[in-house]
Amino acid sequence: MQRLLLLGSLWLLAAPPASSIFQRPTGSPAPPRLQYLLEPLHATVHTQRGATATLPCVLRALPRNYRVKWSKVEPANYRESIIIITNGLYHKNYGPLSPRVSLRHSHRYDASLTITDVALEDEGRYRCQLVNGLEDESVSLTLHLEGVVFPYQPSNGRYKFNYHEAKRACEQQDSRLATYQQLYKAWTEGLDWCNAGWILDGTVHYPIINSREPCGGRLLLPGVRTYGARDKQKDRFDAFCFTSALQGSQVYFIRGHLNFKEAGQACRNHGAAIAKVGQLYSAWKFSQLDRCDGGWLADGSVRYPITTPRQRCGGLPDPGVRSFGFPSKELRTYGTYCFVGK
């Protein structure tokens, strides 16, 4: 990667800390013991896209004139966005999550937050804060979606996206730009990719399992290598997208010798839509979809998912979604992968 060498030295990133912006600085005094809020039994809530998830926040006592405020840390800018505020009797919702959130309120001490139809962008850090004059307290929780990270580039080659284009490209493929934590986890699970790509916070990275000359050289240790923050308008790279399973959905293959237009029509004839790249990756990861047949996808690429590697299906030793790139849309060589949502 000549571009990599021109950009200067790279370094290996250590595993990210489990805490986030709620982490207290080293050497600062420990936070006071919670007086009104119960410490959650589990700090991470696991869920699926399309499901209903509840983030627990329970009071052990009700102070006078209190409010409970729920907020979410936005990983793109590390700011907190208010979701809902309640005084125990009335509440008000805020922001884009407003139509899908409510307070569970199973009893008078319960201020837990319920999110319906969980979306990809809902993953992240949340804070439940008791506002009570000088005695404010808070607990933080993480909403986690099990997912898969995949590299993405357009039909006209690598390093074509600025940040905003990369963000749109992932969204068009039923995914979103990955966070650093998601990319790091994917690297620990075997993601090895030599092209650098944008992630959600506007930084650029690439994950390497097998050190090699075109990817920074053999002397650099494996790791998630970084270009750091780049100009979101001017600089151009690939994208690392994140997607998750969607409850009640299915991806399946239709055999045939179809051009791109015929592939889309074949899916519609079955009451489905031609699958997007993120949907195929999700089916490969979570439904163990395994086919040795190349099929059209919505972006005009041809790919096939392999969970059990074998010689006659590409010959590569590891599972993955293989790609034939972006052949001519007039070519009548491939079948198609279709998607049916819930």
Q: Which fold has domain 147-243?
A: Mannose-Binding Protein A; Chain A (3.10.100)
Do residues 154 and 169 lie in contact, with contact meaning Cβ atoms separated by under 8 Å? yes
Alpha carbon separation from 112 to 37, 50, 77, 140 (Å, rounded): 11, 19, 25, 12
What is the rounded CA–CA span in Å between residue 295 and residue 311?
19
The DSSP H or E segment spanning 74 is strand 67-74
Tens of pLDDT along 261-301? 999 999 999 999 999 999 999 999 999 999 999 999 999 99
pLDDT at 64: 85
pLDDT at 34: 82
Cα torsion for 243, 244, 249, 253, to the nearest 10°? 50
Exposure string for 5-20, b = 16+ CB within 10 A, e = fewer: eeeeebeebeeeeeeb
Give, in words, the CATH class of 37-145: mainly beta
pLDDT band at 100 (very low <50, low <70, confident <90, very high): very high
According to DSSP, residue 4 is labeled H
What is the rounded CA–CA span in Å between residue 87 and residue 64?
10
Tens of pLDDT along 109-129? 999 999 999 999 999 999 999
pLDDT at 63: 87
Does the pLDDT at position 220 exceed 50? Answer: yes
Does 1.20.1250.20 match the CATH number of domain 246-340? no
Range with the poorest average pLDDT among 102-116, 126-140, 225-239: 126-140
Question: Is the fold of 147-243 the same as that of 246-340?
Answer: yes
Where exactly are the structural domains of the chain? 37-145, 147-243, 246-340
pLDDT band at 7 (very low <50, low <70, confident <90, very high): very low
Cα torsion for 81, 84, 87, 90, to the nearest 10°? 150
Tens of pLDDT along 139-198? 999 999 999 999 999 999 999 999 999 999 999 999 999 999 999 999 999 999 999 999
> What does the block give as tokens for 78?
């590390």
Query: CB pairs under 8 A, 24+ apart, for 299-307?
Result: 299/154, 299/155, 299/172, 299/173, 299/326, 300/155, 300/260, 300/326, 300/329, 301/155, 301/277, 301/325, 301/326, 302/326, 302/327, 302/334, 303/277, 303/337, 305/280, 305/281
Does the pLDDT at position 95 exceed 80? Answer: yes
pLDDT at 10: 31
Range with the poorest average pLDDT among 133-137, 251-255, 326-330, 333-337: 133-137
Does the pLDDT at position 76 exceed 80? Answer: no
pLDDT at 214: 84
Non-local (6+) Cβ contacts of 226 within 8 A are: 10, 11, 13, 203, 204, 205
